[in-house]
Amino acid sequence: MPLLFEREGYWRCEHTDAGVFFVHIKQGVTQASVLDAFMDEARPHLQRLQPVLYLNDATDVQDAPLPMQWHLAQHMRRNAPFIAKSAVFGLTPARAFLVRSIVRAAGRDNVRVFPTRAACEGWLLDGATAAAAR
């Protein structure tokens, strides 16, 4: 898995052999400036690799305050043209509910929450989408 970018202790982003844009957020992003820094690093890769199959490991993410959730929804809306499908795993039921709310606020219908990485990859890599992303 080639490393695309990393900020030690915060996030790691890889492009898997299957063509998935894999992000592991290693701690809660609770400040807009930190989220903006992540997006500044991610966006050029999203543009270059589009249409992206985006997989987010949120296992280590802490609850973010409501203003941060709205800020995330705004970034999701801006990134939508570059992403074919998104999947998230590692969320508690309460966090999964919040993520689904953020997804709705961002106007995205191609994002799903799953309990495991394998379930995410299964959905992301179905035949039609996987072929389009290569």
Q: What is the pLDDT of residue 134?
A: 44
Q: What is the pLDDT of residue 10?
A: 87
Average pLDDT over the chain, rounded to whole? 85
pLDDT in tens, 87-111: 999 888 888 888 788 778 777 789 8
Q: Please name each of the domains of the chain with its CATH number.
A: 3-133 (3.30.750.24)
Q: Answer whether residue 133 shows pLDDT above 70.
A: no
pTM: 0.83
- Token reading at 56: 């987010």
Q: Answer whether residue 123 shows pLDDT above 90.
A: yes
Q: 41-70 burial, b if ≥16 CB within 10 A, otherwise e?
A: ebeebbeebeebbbbbbbeebeebeeebee
Summarize the confidence of residues 1-26 as an average pLDDT.
91
Secondary structure class of 13 (helix, strand, coil): strand
Instruction: Tell me if 22 sits within 8 A of 2, measured CB to CB.
Output: no
Q: What is the pLDDT of residue 118?
A: 96
Residues of the chain with pLDDT > 70: what percent?
Answer: 87
Beta-strand relationship, 11-15 and 20-25: antiparallel
CA 58 to chain centre: 9
Instruction: Tell me if 87 sits within 8 A of 117, measured CB to CB.
Output: no
Summarize the confidence of residues 17-33 as an average pLDDT.
85
Give just the sign of the alpha carbon dihedral 55, 132, 1, 123: positive
Secondary structure class of 54 (helix, strand, coil): strand
pLDDT in tens, 59-74: 877 666 777 777 777 8
